Amino acid sequence: MTPAMPASEGLELDALSDRLLAPVFRPARGLGWLLLATGAGSLTLFVAVAYTVLVGIGAWGNDIPVAWAFAIVNFVWWIGIGHAGTFISAILLLLEQPWRTSLNRIAEGMTLFALVQAGLMPLLHLGRPWFFYWLVPYPATMRLWPQFMSSLTWDVAAVSTYTIVSILFWYLGLVPDLAVARDRARTLVARRAYGVFALGWRGSATQHRHHRVAQMLLAGLATPLVLSVHSIVSMDFAIAKLPGWHSTIFPPYFVAGAIFSGFAMVLTLVLPLRRAYRLHAFIGPRHLDAMAKMLLCVGLIVAYSYAAEAFVALRTPDPYEHEMAAVTRPRGPYAPLYWLMLACNVLVPQILWSARARRSPLVLWVVALFVQIGMWTERFVVVVTSQHRDFLPSSWETYRPSLVDGAILFGTLCFFSFLFLLMVRFVPFLPIAEQKELVHDAHVPL
Amino acid sequence: MNDTDPHLGLVPSTSLTRRRFLLGSSLVALGAEACSKPPRDDLIPYVQRPRDVIPGAATFYATTATRDAYGFGLLVESHEGRPTKIEGHPEHPASLGATGPREQAAIYSLYDPERAKAVRRRGAASSWSAFEFAMRAKESAPWSARGGEGLAVLLEPSTSLVAEARLDALRERFPEARVHFHAERSAIDRLEGARLAFGEPFDAVYSLDGADVVLSLDADLSGGGAMAVPMARAFFAKRRVESPRDGLPRLYAVETALGLTGAAADHRLAVPPGELPRVARSIANAILAALGDRTSPLAAALAAEASRESEPAFVRAAARDLVQARGRAVVLVGDRQPPDVHALGHALNALLGAFDHVVRVTRSPILEAGAPSHDVRPLLAALDAGAIDTLCVLGSNPGYSLPGDARVRERFGRAREVIHLGEHADETSALASWQLPAAHFLEAWGDARAMDGTSSVVQPLVVPLWGGRTVAEVLAALHGAAVRDSRRLLRDVFERRNVDFEDAVARGVVPHTDTLRPRAPSVDLAAVAAGLVARPSSPPTVTLAVAPHPVLHDGDLANNAWLQEMPEPVTKLVWGHALLVGPSTAASLGVRDGDAVEVASGERAVRLAAFVQPGHAEGAVTAWLGHGRRAPSLAASAGGADLAALRRLDAPWIVEPVTVRKIAGKERVIVTQTSADQHGRVAALRSTLDAWRADPAAFRQANEDPASILPERLSGSPQWGMAIDLAACTGCSACVVACQAENNVPVVGPADSALFRTMHWLRIDRYYGGTPAEPEVDLQPMLCQHCEKAPCEYVCPVNATVHSPDGLNEMVYNRCVGTRYCSNNCPYKVRRFNFYSHDDDLPESLRMAMNPGVTVRARGVMEKCTYCVQRIRRTEIDARVARRALRDGEIRTACEQVCPTEAIVFGDVSDPRSRVSELHRSPRAYAALGDVGTRPRTRYLARITNPGPEPSR
Amino acid sequence: MVGWGALLTVIGGPVLLMTWVRTPWVTLEGERVDQPVAFDHRHHVRDDGIDCRYCHYDAERSAHAGMPETAVCMGCHSQVWTESPLLEPVRRSWFERSPIRWRHVTLVPDFVYFDHHVHVRSGVPCERCHGRVDLMASVYQATPMDMGFCLDCHRDPERHFDVPRGLDVHPPVHCTGCHR
């Protein structure tokens, strides 16, 4: 790619800082109401969670054979969304893609808040959540260790690592900007608050050098995680015998799906933000274009995965896999969801072949929404459809979600939005330091 | 989301009660507790220890239950004086060491929190002494002065010598008193038929090990019948062929709804109930023809009948085989058939020479068998006439079970006093002025006789929990007997017949008391012919066949949650009731499962849920007794409809004509299995004898064993395993309830059953092959297969399910965190999850039913069949302490021990001489889903059927 | 500063917890338990030389060692110390036919199916688990009684008590050995 034009609206660096801090010190009108609404919505999550913990998993629609349902679907979906954040901030950083600078803060924030939702699910999903620590290897008085053959133990490691790295990465990038915010804050409280988290950043050359190194190191750390985390999540299914789960293509398939849904989510968040704060200069057409192309490209990989999975299943001598692919998914009780998934994830993105579509925020936003829905449905198809008809026909039963299931899904959406809006309100969501860097680099003659 | 029905105390409520909230809010504490210590409690020793009680060790006592009044011997396990588990009595002719579901569930009935708990007088609390006083005082018992005139006693039929003694005493004191017997499932028609045939009310006992061809006319080979166990064991033992060379008996079955007998049959004919006698006659006619008898009055009478219609192929084939197997052929007639069909059955058995080897008879041990006192109608007439001052209903529940035209409410109203002795506050006690709590048979002294006359003792395992009394004791109170104590009376009765009482109590069964005749008296064919009732060929309308519920019978067991939640063996219905409709009838009515239908006879109608039943006779529909209970109770919470409105006293089992029509709305139908097709998978394998002979290795390919990357761990001895013979499994489901009783398996109630959350460790899968009109039924007990390469084990993140060195797939509840991954990865789906806490809301009395040897599982924990590991470890410890080796067959799982046909065998597969190893070597042995590579330790033996050349099944 | 604090809690918290569950506060070792009768094992075992199994005689034939019923106490104390005020509760229990409610000292969770008689018959000395009760004025739990404690001995018994010659002691170390 050609290097990005410095998105400075022709402002000098000093003014640029003010411009980029504006959302924090002069919050958009109506933001407060949005926070209130999403905050209230989040309450449904907390109520539903409390109820589940008090009463038991019976509060959900799960049964035998469908012992995993909404909670796991949500888990895979949310953690998938997280991936785009890491992808943008880490991999694109290493690839020195300057256009990412306008997006990485938003993307990283998104990752973090998606992880909060995702992390809640497997915990809540346990029959006895208060014993979650038995999945962690530690010297117990019971002289027992976890079963390291089980992918769920790998999951614990993968997800917790991912969470820690994501937090550090997000926070590290934030430090200089917090310092700027501290220096320009009007009230004492704000100055103190930003001051604490700015960790005494003075912006000296040494600090900048260390900062750069640290960021690169973390990026290096995070890059393999983009691939590893969802691969391991996919193994939660792949290591099982279950027809529809027992498949070697799962790791790449899941990673692609994750980045797919992640980019969709970035678009879903960025486009309204761009409009609300008039960031067209910072998030220009070429940003949208790049994102759209990513979406299209990853979408094709996902489509290929579907095809490959179905093909293998249809060619295998294994009668169970075959019935799953040939009958249960396309024609079973949950067939509509299967077809919806294909429509959203394979058909809809094809519109992005047109350059005009790629540069139209509205089209992009709608496509993104479809992809979100499609990807959630994909997880439902994988998790529930595979379970409800496996080996012995005598135990083939269907599953219907309960109210509580619905409340939890809705609640996580609200809670996610709530946290994201909090970030928009209190933290510069366009990376000031890095923007300035770009402008500066552009000014000095090469 | 869940039942908030107050009567489902045993069903978890999702309501956030205070304790539940505390429980929740102290989760952390809970967690801490679970990994450290229980709260410090008290240790309470005896003051002086009773004889033969060792705390922590089980004791067994012999006692007797009854099936339709006939004795059924039991051994009851007791822990510190608390009965927890029931087994069959090996020395009792009706039990042979096995039991049915109802005996297993008797433990629940004993501790049923809804039992009647006090004497009540017009609803107000009273006492036994008040009752006894009232029965002696002139003004409250005017009949006592008039030699009992105006006193009527209505009991259930009985075979008890003690009851007999009490009745004699009553009659002696009150010669004018009326005594009547009534039960919905009664032997009255059968005995009447026997009287027609033999001139005396005989009971017939069939030893089917002598039979090569069996014709069942609506008979019940494997259900709850008084002699079902010995019959089923003998017959199905002969169906377990060792090699393709062996032969096996052939079973013909005629029935209306698809039953277990029909499911086991080689040829089955489904006919409306009204048609069945006609089929019986055309078969009889064909048999007589084949025997070359055209002249005898019977032949004449039958020929006159049969000539009217063309005989279906079934009739020809059945007659041919029966005659060919003369001497080894037998005809069985079901209790619900009219007397002349029973008589005809005896006649045929005589003609077929069945009385030489197969059938033996005895005078029925039922009190006053064949006497008019078994007809309830005169009593009702007397009530109408106002001739009854005091009506004493002991045991039964006529207020619910009697047909509508008995007009029980109104007629009972005519009596000044109605006394009711019952285990529950039910429809009858609602009409009673004295409500007396009955003693459960595990609380009672008494006796009973089996159908072959064998006498056995009923001894109490506990003092009556709620001060209940037995029928005999209330009779004693009525006539102010000198000897009150039932135990003493029993001793007197036994000693009068010079039986060693102490010995009898110790053994339970009184040896050599059977009264079977060495040779049967001849059958009076002329009388049978004369007895034949001409029936008008029934009009082409729909008939309603009324049947006792296969599990709940006439409703006497309807308050038993274990039985309510036990899937009905064929339909798999739980917690409710449905109108069984044949496929094409259903199509013509345009109804599907759960559609509301109205069954109307005249102006009376009931509303029921339709249920399409493959193999049900067209032109008829079937409904069960035992539902639509009015008295507020768990039984009532099961819903359904009461058929009394439609039924009539003179024909209690058939209502015709009826009109069936679909009406608006849905009715609750809960089934535990919704797909019935095997999809060609290696589940329940079956073959015909001919096909097997053609390909003896047919079942071998099911044992193909894919390679595995999981480590080989299992070596050494013992290695536990199980074999289940599908040729012997009748689907009776005794094992399901036995497992529940042994392993503290919780009941989840209707709401969660509908969500497929039942907790049974052992279920019986039911598959249909063939056509909807003529289905081929496969039944397969499905439980943890204890796979050597268990898929559940490697996915559990906390090692809560692992393999023991002796080959058990262990489930460790206290380590389980409830990820449920094991269940997802189990190809057999035999793992059960505690979606709620089933223990928190359990009434105190039901806690007493718990087996102390098995952990009561907490909420959020996975559980499954353990091969009854508590029994294995207990026996191993005893053997270890006694410094001896384990014997084959010494350890028996609950399901194995209870099985009437010995279809389940457990043992050491590393010992080539063990019974289970032998079965695993059988050419019929295969691994369910063997192609998945789980290497199950439980092996099935394929079922071999023996259909004749025609009619094609 | 903030970072160090975080690090400390992340590392230190778990370590602290893992230490805590090994302390007597959790295992209840040595916790004093007041009994309805001031029964002194020192006197009965040492001075009178009564064997454990004289009173706890079920230990040899049942899963439960059993608390002696009042009758056992009265066996002697209807003859000796008949007037002793210390024995008032025992006499009351005997004459009122109401059991003595002893406090449970040695606690294992309900899902543990410990069987006394197989341990006794395998030569495990009482004091291996119960400690020197003969030196206790009032009985307290002398060992941690957690799963680790059981497993250490089950994994190699020879190291924990001298196994009687001739009987090969091979204790179960699989789950259903104790959990059913």
Contacts of C151 in chain A (CB under 8 A): 143
Ramachandran assignment for B47, one of left (phi > 0), alpha (psi -120 to 50 degrees), beta (any other): alpha
**DSSP strands (E only) in B334-433:** 359-363, 390-394, 417-422
Spell out the residues 6+ positions from residue A48 whose beta carbon is closer than 8 angstroms to its own: A404, A407, A408, A411
Average pLDDT value over all residues in chain B: 91
With an 8 Å Cβ cutoff, are A139 and C14 in contact? no
Q: What is the pLDDT of residues B285-340, one digit of tens each?
A: 999 999 988 888 899 888 876 655 566 889 999 999 999 999 999 999 999 999 99
Query: Cβ of B855 and C111 within 8 Å?
Result: yes
Interface of C with B (CB under 8 A): 21, 26-28, 33, 58, 61-64, 66-71, 93-94, 97-104, 107, 109-111, 113, 115, 117-118, 121-122, 146, 167, 174-177, 179-180
Taking one residue from A and the other from B, the number of pairs with CB-CB distance under 8 angstroms is: 194
User: With bands split at pLDDT 50, 70 and 90, how would you rate the model's confidence at B622?
Assistant: very high
Mutation pick from C17, C32, C155, C176 vs chain B, by most beta carbons of B within 10 Å, is C176
User: Chain A closest CA to C54's CA: distance in Å?
Assistant: 34
Using the Cβ of B54 and the Cβ atoms of chain C, whether some distance falls under 8 Å is answered with yes
Interchain pair B853, C113: CB under 8 A: yes
A391 to B827: CB separation less than 8 angstroms, yes or no: yes
- How large is the angle between the packed helices B276-290 and B313-324, nearest 10 degrees? 50
* DSSP for residue A318: -
Check A127 against B679: CB less than 8 A apart.
no
Query: Number of C-alpha atoms within 13 angstroms, CB side, residue B418?
Result: 24
Nearest CA-CA distance, residue B671 and chain A, Å: 11
Query: Of the candidates C2, C14, C21, which has its C-beta nearest A141's C-beta?
Result: C21
B126 touching chain C per CB within 8 A: no
Give me the pLDDT at residue B703, please: 65
Show residues of chain B in contact with C175, CB under 8 Å.
802, 804, 810, 812, 815
Residue B463's pLDDT band (boundaries 50, 70, 90)? very high
Strand, helix or coil at B912?
Answer: coil
Alpha-carbon gap, residue A9 to A283, rounded angstroms: 12
CA distance B82 to A335: 54
How many beta-carbon pairs under 8 angstroms link A with C? Answer: 20
A332 touches chain B (CB under 8 A): no
**Do residues A248 and A305 lie in contact, with contact meaning Cβ atoms separated by under 8 Å?**
no
What gap in Å lies between CA A273 and CA A287, rounded to an integer? Answer: 14
Q: Which residues of B touch C66 (CB under 8 A)?
A: 45, 55-56
Distance from CA of B687 to the nearest CA of A (A): 20
Contacts of B911-918 with C-beta under 8 Å, sequence gap 24+, read B911/B717, B911/B718, B913/B888, B914/B888, B915/B723, B915/B888, B915/B889, B916/B721, B916/B722, B916/B723
- Name the DSSP letter for residue C47: I
Predicted local distance difference test score (pLDDT) of residue B534: 81
pTM score, two decimals? 0.93
Mean pLDDT to the nearest integer, B557-581:
95
Per 3-state DSSP, chain B is made up of helix, strand and coil in percentages (nearest 5) of 30, 20, 50
Supply the pLDDT for residue B2: 37
- Whether this model's ipTM surpasses 0.90 comes out as yes
Nearest-CA distance B762 → chain C (Å):
17
B914 phi and psi angles, rounded to 5 deg: -70, 155
pLDDT for position B306: 60
The continuous run of DSSP H or E covering B598 comes out as strand B595-601
Q: How far apart are CA A240 and CA A357, in angstroms?
A: 41
The pLDDT tens digits of the residues spanning B52-105 come to 788 888 999 999 999 999 999 999 999 988 999 999 999 999 999 999 999 999
Residues of A in contact with B827 (CB under 8 A): 241, 390-392
Res C166: pLDDT: 82
Q: Which tokens hold the place of B412? A: 């009972």
Residue B893 near residue B722, CB atoms below 8 Å: yes
Of the listed ranges A99-113, B431-445, C75-89, the one predicted with least confidence:
A99-113
Helix (H, G, I), strand (E, B) or coil at A223: helix
Q: In this complex, is the C-beta atom of C15 within 8 Å of any C-beta atom belonging to chain A?
A: no
Among A residues 40-79, those touching chain B with beta carbons less than 8 Å apart: 50-51, 53-59, 61-65, 67-68
pLDDT (average), residues B883-900? 95
- Taking 70 as the threshold, does the pLDDT of residue B707 lie above it? yes
Min Cα distance A322 → chain B (Å) is 12
> Is C127 near chain A, with CB under 8 Å?
no
Place of tokens 């036990």: B566
- Whether A126 sits inside 8 A of B818 (CB atoms) is yes
- Mutate which of A49, A156, A237, A392 to test chain B, going by most B C-beta atoms within 10 A? A392
Nearest-Cα distance to chain A for B320, in Å, is 38
Chain A CB contacts of B23 below 8 Å: 54
Residues in chain B with CB shorter than 8 Å from the CB of A125 are 819
Preferred mutation among C9, C108, C146 to probe A, highest tally of A CBs within 10 A: C146
pLDDT band at B6 (very low <50, low <70, confident <90, very high): very low
Q: In whole angstroms, give the CA distance from residue B521 to residue B871.
A: 49
Q: Which range, A93-97, B723-727, C67-71, C98-102, is most confident? A: B723-727
B802/C174 CB distance under 8 A: yes
Residues B209, B479: Cα–Cα separation, whole Å:
47
Q: Does residue B58 belong to the interface with chain C, where contact is any CB pair within 8 Å?
A: no
> Which of B820, B859, B929 is facing A392, going by the closest CB pair?
B929
Q: What does the pLDDT look like over B795-843, one tens digit per residue?
A: 999 999 999 999 999 999 999 999 999 999 999 999 999 999 988 888 9
Among A141, A174, A196, the residue to mutate for chain C (most C Cβ within 10 A): A141
pLDDT of the residue at C1: 62
Q: Find the helix packing angle between A151-184 and A13-25, rounded to 10°.
A: 110
Q: How many CB atoms lie within 10 A of CB B124?
A: 7
Whether residues C69 and B42 touch (CB distance < 8 A) is answered with no
Please, which residues have CB within 8 angstroms of residue B887's CB and are 6 or more apart in sequence? none
Query: Letter for the amino acid at B773?
Result: A
- Residue B344 to residue B326: CA distance in whole angstroms: 17
At B311 the pLDDT is: 64
How far is Cα B919 from Cα B898, in angstroms, rounded to an integer? 19
**C1 Cα to chain B: minimum distance (Å):** 31
Alpha carbons within 13 angstroms on the beta-carbon side of residue B284 total 37
Q: How far is A395 from chain B (nearest CA, A)?
A: 7
Kindly list the residues from chain B whose CB atom is less than 8 angstroms away from the CB atom of residue A135.
Answer: 797-798, 817
DSSP A59-106: GSS--SS--S-HHHHHHHHHHHHHHHHHIIIIIHHHTT-GGGGGTHHH
pLDDT of residue B438 exceeding 80: yes
Q: Identify which of A139, A141, A199 has the shortest CB distance to residue C146.
A: A141
For B181, which DSSP code? E
pLDDT per residue over B164-195, tens digit each? 999 999 999 999 999 999 998 888 999 999 99
8 A C-beta contact, residue B4 and residue B634? no
Q: Which residues contact A346 (CB under 8 A, 6 or more apart)?
A: A299, A302, A303, A306
Q: Which of C57, C64, C111 to mutate to test the interface with B (most CBs of B within 10 A)?
A: C111
Q: Do C148 and A138 make contact, defined as CB atoms within 8 angstroms?
A: no
Residues contacting B313, CB < 8 A, separation 6+ = B950, B951
Residue A437's contacts (CB-CB under 8 Å, 6 or more residues apart) are none
Averaged over successive runs of 10 residues, the pLDDT of chain A (446 residues) comes to 48 76 81 94 96 94 95 96 84 77 86 94 94 93 93 93 90 90 89 90 90 89 88 94 93 93 93 88 86 94 95 91 94 96 96 94 96 96 95 95 96 97 90 78 56
Cα separations in angstroms, A264 against A105, A112, A169, A369, B846: 16, 16, 21, 7, 56
What residue in C sits closest to B39 (Cα-Cα)?
Answer: C107
Query: What integer pLDDT is reported at residue B9 of this predicted model?
Result: 38
- Residues A124/A141, Cβ–Cβ less than 8 Å: no
Q: Are B819 and A125 in contact, with CB atoms under 8 Å apart?
A: yes
A139 shares contact with chain B (CB less than 8 Å): no
Show the tokens assigned to A2.
């050609």
Say if C146 is an interface residue toward chain A (CB within 8 Å): yes
Q: Give burial (CB, 10 Å; 0-12/13-18/19+) of A273.
A: middle
Q: For residue B192, give both structure tokens.
A: 């009447």
Report the sign of the C-alpha dihedral through residues B279, B284, B285, B291, in that order. Answer: positive
* Coarse DSSP helix, strand, coil percentages of chain C, rounded to the nearest 5 percent: 50, 0, 50
Residue positions counted in chain C: 180
The pLDDT value given to residue A282: 83
φ and ψ at residue B449, rounded to 5 degrees: -120, 140
Instruction: Summarize the confidence of residues B697-704 as an average pLDDT.
Output: 76
pLDDT, residue A26, reads: 80
- The Cα A26–Cα A181 span in angstroms is 12
B847 part of contact set with chain C, CB < 8 Å: no
